[in-house]
Chain A
Amino acid sequence: MKRRGFVKLGAMSAALGSVPAFIARAFAQDACEDDSTRIAAAASAYRRARATGRPLLVLVVPETEDMIAYERQHAFGEWLNHGGDETLAMLALTEVFVGRMSHVRRVLPSTPAEDAVMLLVETSELPSRVVPLRAELPNLFDGSPWAEGMTWEERERRDEARIDERVAILTSLLRGALVPDAATISRRVAQAESVRNLEHRAAVHYARAMASSAETRASMLHDLAERARERLVGERVPGSRWARSSGCGTTIEGEEDNIGVACGMGHVPARSVRFLYFYESLSY
Chain B
Amino acid sequence: MTRTFATGGRQTGMARILVLCSLAGGCAMTGEADRTFVVVDEAARNAGYGIEIDGVARERVLPLSLYEAEVGTIVGPDSLRDVPDASFVVVSGPNGDVTAFEAGEVRPDLLFVRGDAAAVEALALALGADLESEESGFLLLSPAIWEDASIADAVEGIVEALPASEGGAPMHDRTALVETAFEGAGVLSEAIFDALPEELGDLVGVYSTPGGTLLVNAAGEFTVCGGAAEIESGVVRYESGRVFLIDRRGTSTVLTLGNGGRELRGPDGTRYALVEGP
Chain A residues engaging chain B, CB cutoff 8 angstroms: 1, 3-33, 36-47, 50, 106-110, 123, 126-128, 238-239, 279
Contact = CB atoms under 8 A, between A and B. Distances in A.
Interface in B3-28: 4, 14, 17-18, 21-22, 24-27
A12 B53 CA distance: 32
B205 A27 contact: no
24 contacts: A3-B166, A3-B167, A5-B239, A6-B4, A10-B109, A10-B141, A15-B21, A18-B27, A18-B251, A26-B212, A26-B213, A26-B232, A27-B211, A31-B227, A32-B227, A37-B277, A41-B277, A46-B204, A50-B202, A108-B217, A108-B219, A126-B200, A127-B193, A239-B278
B213 to A, nearest CB: 4
B182 to A, nearest CB: 14
Contacts of B219: 108-110, 127
Interface string B239-267: 10010111100111111000000000011
What is the predominant secondary structure among interface residues of chain B facing chain A? mixed
A3 B212 CA distance: 34
B48 interface: no
B196 interface: yes
Contacts of A9: 239
Given A1-B179, A4-B132, A36-B275, A11 B29 contact: yes
Given A6-B4, A127-B219, 14 more contacts: A1-B168, A10-B141, A12-B246, A15-B251, A19-B26, A23-B253, A27-B211, A27-B212, A32-B208, A36-B208, A36-B275, A41-B278, A50-B202, A108-B219
A12 B214 contact: no
B24 to A, nearest CB: 7
B128 interface: no
B226 A28 contact: yes
Contacts of B253: 15, 18, 20, 22-23
A46 B277 CA distance: 11
B39 interface: no
A126 B239 CA distance: 16
B224 A14 contact: no
B202 A11 contact: no
A44 B205 contact: yes
Scoring A13, A14, A39 by chain B CB atoms within 10 A of each residue's CB, the highest score goes to: A14
B209 interface: yes
A23 B224 contact: yes
A255 to B, nearest CB: 14
B168 A128 contact: no
Given A37-B277, A110-B219, A29 B205 contact: no
B48 to A, nearest CB: 33
Contact of A44 (B109, B227, B242, B276): B276
Contacts of B200: 126
Contacts of B278: 37, 41, 238-239, 279
Nearest to A23: B224
